[in-house]
Amino acid sequence: MARIAGVDLPKNKRIEIGLTYIYGIGLSCSKQILKKIQINHNILIKDLTDQHIIDIRKILNENYDIEGDLRRRESMNIKRLMEINCYKGKRHRIGLPLRGQRTRTNARTRRGIKKTMAGKKKAPKK
């Protein structure tokens, strides 16, 4: 099993798909990486040589922000928006959608499930 950037890649998948298990690497980035190294994108991860894995790690470290660094940068950007008190920061703080979606009937993912009437007594059982 190949371990790249702290992520165990599934050994029975193609390398093209396996690289997408790394946070910050999508399918198009995966194809670009494999083209730079000149590896066939249909090779299974278990069939990679140690040299291929070293080359992939080298390119990822030099050219891409992945995993922890990328997560840290995203959280810092969100904290900055919240600190400067801009509209998007306020929406992050109160847990509502940021990009203009309606909230009257939708947005259950961001808002959570609410009770329709607070404090209403249940009818007694007969």
Query: Do 59 and 13 belong to one domain?
Result: yes
- Do 14 and 50 reside in the same domain of the chain? yes
| Residue whose C-alpha is closest to residue 55's, from 19, 91, 85 | 19
Amino acid at 67: E
Domain count, the chain: 2
Is there a domain that residue 126 lies in? no
| Arithmetic mean of pLDDT over the chain | 88
What tokens appear for 2 in the block? Answer: 């190949």
Question: Does 47 lie in the same domain as 79?
Answer: no
Looking at the fold, whether 49 and 9 belong to one and the same domain comes out as yes
Examine the pLDDT at 120 and tell me if it is beyond 70. no
Which residues lie across from 44 on neighbouring strands? Answer: 14
**How far separated are the first and last CA of the chain, in Å rounded?**
62
Boundaries of domain holding 8 = 3-64
73-113 confidence digits (pLDDT tens): 999 999 999 999 999 999 999 988 988 888 888 888 888 87
Q: What is the CATH number of the domain that holds 102?
A: 4.10.910.10
Mean pLDDT to the nearest integer, 43-71: 90
- Bridge partner list, 59: none
The answer to whether 65 touches 77, Cβ cutoff 8 Å, is no
pLDDT exceeds 90 at position 67: no
87 falls within a domain: yes
Q: Are 19 and 7 in contact (CB under 8 A)?
A: no
9 close to 18: Cβ distance less than 8 angstroms: yes
